[in-house]
Amino acid sequence: MRPAITKSPRKSAPAIPASPAERDLPVIDALYAVGGLTRTGRVTGRGRRKRAAGASAEELRRRSAAPCTAVNGVAWLPVPGWRFPWLRAGFSTRIGGVSRAYCADDAPGELNLGFTAEDDRAAVERNRRLLAEAVTGSPEVPISVVRQFHSGLVVVAGRDEALRERPRKADGILATESGLLIGIQVADCIPVLVADKRKKIVAAFHAGWRGTVKRIVETGVGRMRMEFGSEPRDLIAAIGPGIGPCCYAVGEEVVSEVESQFAYSTELFHEVYDEEPVRLKYPMLFLTQRAPGHSPIGPQIHLDLVEANRRQLLAAGVRAKAIEIVGGCTSCQPELFFSHRGSRGHAGRMMAVVGIRGERKKS
């Protein structure tokens, strides 16, 4: 008979005391709460990807409305719902114009609006007059622009500003004067237009991923409120064509920057798998012997810059129903738009313009 074996009680592991950093977390959380913020740990790599929404590129694609053909064959996109007699606004396409730098030899000219190294300056100046005529009815209306450098800087421009040979550096521009257009140049970045319906003030913002992280749109709407007394209930906004979440794959640098700035960052990312027909039909052909985590096969992380800037407009006080999304992906619609990424850097520039018609009346 085997002797009974008495088991000694199992000793529990001693509790590990909290580190000094962990003991300070309640104090840190309280400081964040004073500013209306919530502390979030930065999560990168596999952990973050598990939280990103999965989707196909087709599911993320936003189609653009058909362009409106105007004077001299120039095609541009008006903002649906912006039917105010005093307001002129729209987003250009590449259709129309006299530039030949980015089209085939046997193709008609195009509407490049940027003074790029490849294009002729006189052709671009002609294109800008064609756009002004298409949007306002007059080719003589000047277009005031800025020297964009992916910043959070916003300036106020007037008619004299439109005549400057060397524009100021900024990525946002405001105007209160009538008789001119203010414009932002884009070729993938997101153009955002804002207008105050009551005070008749207009704004245009250039929001690439860097400008988005620097909150260019929030900053600009804040300037409208602070300097001109704009009320959120009077503001309307339009987000124009840019690279869509269907095509905008980003790396860890961009992911980390966005995550560090926005508590809702996980809602801006999507996991997108390669949709090549051969890969989908014969997935075994693409298996790899590399160790897990070292294989190039797998999902890409795509960023939704349109949604990121819509959220900034909401954070700045603009009502959701006052925000128009014109749509269109510059990368996957090359017949309609210029795309810096889609053409690997060989691209013209489009423009988002907005202006005040006629003489302003005192509010």
Instruction: Answer yes or no: is pLDDT of 43 > 50.
Output: no
b/e sequence 185-220, b meaning 16+ C-beta within 10 Å:
bbbbbbbbbbbbbebbbbbbbbbbbbbbbbbbbbbb
Q: Which has the higher per-residue pLDDT, 95 or 29? A: 95
CB atoms within 10 A of CB 72: 15
Contact 88, 136 (CB under 8 A): yes
Nearest in space to 175 (alpha carbons), one of 354, 359, 363, 361? 354
Asked if residue 183 lies in contact with residue 199, where contact means CB atoms within 8 angstroms, the answer is: no
Q: What pLDDT band is residue 159 in, cutting at 50, 70 and 90?
A: confident
C-beta neighbour count of 115 within 10 angstroms? 14
Q: What is the pLDDT of residue 57?
A: 78
Spatial distance between the Cα atoms of 215 and 223, rounded to a whole number of angstroms: 12
- The span from the CA of 252 to the CA of 255, in Å, is 5
pLDDT band at 54 (very low <50, low <70, confident <90, very high): confident
Tokens of 109: 């000219």
- Cα dihedral 97, 103, 104, 108, rounded to 10, equals -10
In the chain, what are the domain boundaries?
Answer: 65-243+322-356
- Residue 158 confidence class, pLDDT cut points 50, 70, 90: confident
Q: Which bin fits 342, alpha (ψ -120 to 50), beta or left (φ > 0)?
A: alpha
CATH of domain 65-243+322-356: 3.60.140.10
- 130: tokens are 């064609």
Displacement of CA 91 from its chain's centroid (Å): 14
Is it the case that residue 22 has pLDDT exceeding 60? Answer: no
The reported pTM is 0.80
Angle between the N-to-C axes of helices 305-315 and 216-228, in degrees from 0 to 180, rounded to the nearest 10: 30
pLDDT of residue 19: 54
Of 227, 200, 232, 204, whose CA–CA distance to 217 is shortest?
204
For range 358-363, the mean pLDDT: 54
Convert the pLDDT of each residue in 319-356 to its tens digit. Answer: 999 999 998 999 999 999 999 999 999 999 999 999 99
Q: Which of the pair, 8 or 181, is modelled with greater confidence?
A: 181
* Cβ pair 342, 247 in contact under 8 A: yes
